[in-house]
Chain A
Amino acid sequence: MTESLLLLDKVDVGYGDFQALFGIDLHVAEAETVSIIGANGAGKSTLLKAIVGLVQPMRGEIVYEGVSIAHTPAHKRVAQGIALVPEGRRIFDSLTVEENIVIGGDVGRPGPWTKQRVLEAFPLLTRLLNRSGEGLSGGERQTLAIARALMSNPRLLLLDEVSLGLAPIVVRQVYEAVPIIKAQGTTVLIVEQDVNQALAVADRFYCLLEGRISLSGTPGDVSKEQITEAYFGMSRRSH
């Protein structure tokens, strides 16, 4: 196995009295695309938040590029090359589309992604540049959120529920971006409720169930039954 870009070692995360993640062990190698699947409330988003630093783990270790980042503040992790496209897009409504793109590159690393390069990859944004973030459609917002994250030239890009609430055709457009991103050598970690979509693009996957990893492997090597069981936590006979 190649050396991991990201490694989680027995990570516990909680909010107050409520613990959301239990003993998570996970690794992602350079240039790999890994999906995390699981039902609503399984702890997928919390896992991504812990990796970017929006929540602090109670126990365990998060190692990135061989260095512990468990206590590095979120804003510094961006400069180290970790970017998150958050659930719900979370575009800045009072900034223009152009400002939304540029702000992503304020802090970050040098690399292939520039404003020009991003607009070439996502041409639909070009005609929206002077619009405010507020009036955009769901698909436009999602595209902008991805473009914004790419501007920091991340080494590790985290995508949280990018298809949620989008029409299927828009979802397909959004996922067309994944190969473009991978082509730059970027490592991608995807959280997705839509299992088929998530497994289609992934080299490997992890399945979360009630805050614990219930299954991991390569999409081709596991059966549908195994995934169903890991996803729902019980055996369901499909016919």
Chain B
Amino acid sequence: MTTRVVRGTLASRVFAVVAITAVVVLAFLPSWGSISLQRKMVELLTLMALAVMWNLLAGFAGVVSVGQQAFVGLGAYSMIAFVNVHHQNLYWSVLFSALVAAVLSIPIGLIAFRLRGSYFAIGTWVLAEAVSLIVILQKSLGAGNGVSLNIKGHALATRQDNSYWFALIVGVGAVLVTYLVLRSRLGLQMQAIRDSEDGARGLGANVYRTRFLVWMLAAFWTGLAGATYYLQQLRVQPAGTGGAFSVVQWTAPIIFIVVIGGIGTIEGPVIGAVLYYVLRERFKDHQTVYFISMGIIAIAVALLLQGGIWGTIRRRLGADLFPVRRRLVQRQD
């Protein structure tokens, strides 16, 4: 009889085949789907990426931020600065913008990490407000009124297709990155910290450093998703409906998606994002009531069904589509 450590399950292997097929089909969407579907998919995929990253932070690293809109806004406005002010290449600018978000997440994190738990959450919110106010002071970035991305010299169809592919990479990539992080040493430390912060510390895990690295990674990816979203939207404004720094525009849906889908699972935010987006389109004419309902559902899940949709399914079926946990299997030889 031998014992070996495995991660995969039959369900996870079947799922891998289905998922890869789906991504391939989606990659060719510009050749079979309508422009309007393509635009919608950009929105869905970027929202999904944001939710997946928030889940990595809140659900796995125990860092609950309500200030992620800071990095959406930094991504969007850095892109504007690179393209409009410094005349850089449109697509490289998207990547640079994500780097700017990651770099600025260092000073922001150094301050916010002085607070813990719920106070950390409001602290990130205050910092996001401060960042937004500083951006509003920049006249070259349109101040409080907003600004349009300069797309002179880019054909409409190419730009649309490129935005879509960016969004596909950002969305699918977010899931893959989460998966890889959780399988890495960093992921093991995160899980140890989640089980017992003091215990993990005793085993030599640097809780602060682990959390900070995840915080920077999430800032990078959030900035990337923000820039990609506005690469398609073109018009960026700081606050109000559609505002890049708006907590209602970004952080509220992200939290609803993650909590309803299943916090602390890889699959949850993906399911949550699709569900949230499809229902939002369905109830387009009743946005306010839709938001109220989502809020009530999120509260109910937080109080009564803390695993969300996927957490509940997983408990019932015992299935893991993304095998992160190692299992010991004994085999008779």
Q: Do chains A and B touch in the complex (CB under 8 A)?
A: no
